[in-house]
Amino acid sequence: MTTPPPPGSTSPPAGGSGRLLALDRAHVWHPYGPMPGRSEPYLVESASGVRLKLADGRELVDGMSSWWAAIHGYRHPVLDEALIEQSRRMSHVMFGGLTHEPAIELAAELVELAPRAGGSASSGSASSGAPGLEHVFLCDSGSVSVEVAFKMALQAQRALGHPGRRRLATWRGGYHGDTFHPMSVCDPDGGMHSLWSGVLPAQVFVDAPPVEFDEAYAEKLVEMIARHSGEIAAVVVEPVVQGAGGMRFHDPRYLRVLREATEAYGILLIFDEIATGFGRTGKLFAAEHAGVVPDIMCVGKALTGGYLTLAAALCTTAVAEAISGGAGGGLMHGPTFMGNPLACAVARASLRLLRDGAWVDQVRLIGNGLRDGLEPLRGRPGVADVRVLGAMGVVQLDHDVDMHAATAAAVAEGVWLRPFRDLVYTMPPYVTGAEDVARIVAGVAAAATVG
């Protein structure tokens, strides 16, 4: 094993890696950063199971599931085979005027798995015919699915005779993507609002939800909806877990409060399950913690097991009918790569793996391992909070993390993490075994106590 330069080093390693990293630095823009980046990214050569293999030969246990997506790990034989098999038939055809089996079957399977009144199919209490999310709009990425959800909500309200309902309401601390309308409902302090003030549409915000149920806060939610019912089309939230906005958890009963109040005022309820969907919180969808069915639900990230970019906005028949009836005539959206067959085929394979149910115990065991391993960090200097839910572990610091030093500390433990702000957190692939969970815990501890 060679010793690579530390992150931030300006001298690239010799040979092919050095050339690639030099080209990367010259031409490739990485997320949330300047061009060129302030530090050197780690060059990944391949990934298998829960391990990322770096070009310098090191192997890292992946604590990030590639931003919540790679729930079954890398190079999974079932997912690989689905992709190869589909590529032999067709990789892509346009979706306007054409359709195909991978998209049709995927949509039907999503409808079957999605939350529905009386329990979702995944909890074994499906009551077929109960109101659920019956219609699926496939699109390219999470942010685009949020855009589609907003378009659905605004179009539906307009069609129902409420053209004034054009704003969105949410609670603070959220994150819904990086395109403009999703940005407008991200946390106005922690998000990118200050950068874009005067550009983003002004939405309606209420305080971030407390962890525990608080009657006074619940009343605030209702009051917000009542006060703004003439101008908001929908309330949009991440159910149970606010992810990139701060990795905060809240009592699921708030979702019921939102459901009742939105229903009472004819406002639509959108759940962004892009991060929480497909088992991460211990339920297939976080909405199930509350037994609530939204009017519109966004999914993405883990939909394809992290293989390809694909997302979807699902909606009820009532929403679809409102948009489609009368003069409106349809939803004005249609991405070029809508329903991409490769992505749909691999998504179907991922859902098939989820349907075998092994994820339930895997997520529980990972959660137990994270809880046992991370709890001892509570009270350590610099540590403000430790929290675990489903297969997510979070160590919140009382200061902003030095991202590069913390990442390097985790890498030195053989673990891949991507801390941000005051958070060192992990959401491992569900197939992570106990020993690797213990290693991830060591990586989180090292990152959280660096410096």
Cβ contacts of 188 within 8 Å, gap of 6 or more = 172, 205
Per-residue string for binding with ligand PMP, 91-130, x by CB under 6 A? ----------------------------------------
Q: Is 217 annotated as a binding residue?
A: no
Among 237, 261, 263, 265, residue whose Cα is nearest residue 251:
237
> Between residue 187 and residue 246, which ones bind ligand PMP under the rule CB under 6 A?
238, 243-244
66, 86, 141, 170: which one contacts ligand PMP (CB under 6 A)?
A: 141
As a dihedral over the C-alpha atoms of residue 349, residue 354, residue 355, residue 358, rounded to 10 degrees, the angle is 130
* 263 φ/ψ angles, rounded to the nearest 5 degrees: -60, -45
Residue 184 or 436: the one with the smaller Cβ distance to ligand PMP is 184
Q: Specify the amino acid at residue 206.
A: V
Active site residue 307: no
Active site residue 175: yes
Residue 65 interacts with ligand PMP (CB under 6 A): yes or no: no
Q: Is 301 annotated as a binding residue?
A: yes
Q: Is 173 annotated as a binding residue?
A: no
Cβ contacts of 446 within 8 Å, gap of 6 or more = 409, 410, 412, 413, 415
Residue 66 interacts with ligand PMP (CB under 6 A): yes or no: no
Selecting among 175, 217, 307, 430, the annotated active-site residue is: 175
Per-residue string for binding with ligand PMP, 377-416, x by CB under 6 A? ----------------------------------------
What is the Cα–Cα distance from 289 to 287, expressed in whole angstroms? 5
Among 136, 141, 145, residue whose Cα is nearest residue 102:
136
Active site residue 398: no
Coil/strand/helix, residue 298: strand
DSSP 321: H
Q: Is 207 annotated as a binding residue?
A: no
Residue 143 or 316: the one with the smaller Cβ distance to ligand PMP is 143
Residue 146 interacts with ligand PMP (CB under 6 A): yes or no: yes
> Between residue 149 and residue 178, which ones bind ligand PMP under the rule CB under 6 A?
175-177
DSSP 158-223: HHTT-TT--EEEEETT----SSHHHHHTS-TTTSSTTTTTTTSPP-EEEPPPPSS--HHHHHHHHH
Active site residue 272: yes
Q: Which residue is nearest to ligand PMP (CB)?
A: 142
Q: For 388, left (φ over 0), alpha (ψ -120 to 50), or beta?
A: beta
Q: Which stretch binds ligand PMP (CB under 6 A): 98-106, 198-206, 269-277, 384-392?
A: 269-277
Q: Do residues 422 and 396 touch, judged by C-beta distance below 8 A? A: yes
Per-residue string for binding with ligand PMP, 345-384, x by CB under 6 A? ----------------------------------------
> Mind telling me the catalytic residues?
32, 175, 272, 301
Which residues make up the interface to ligand PMP (CB under 6 A)? Answer: 141-143, 146, 175-177, 238, 243-244, 272, 274-275, 300
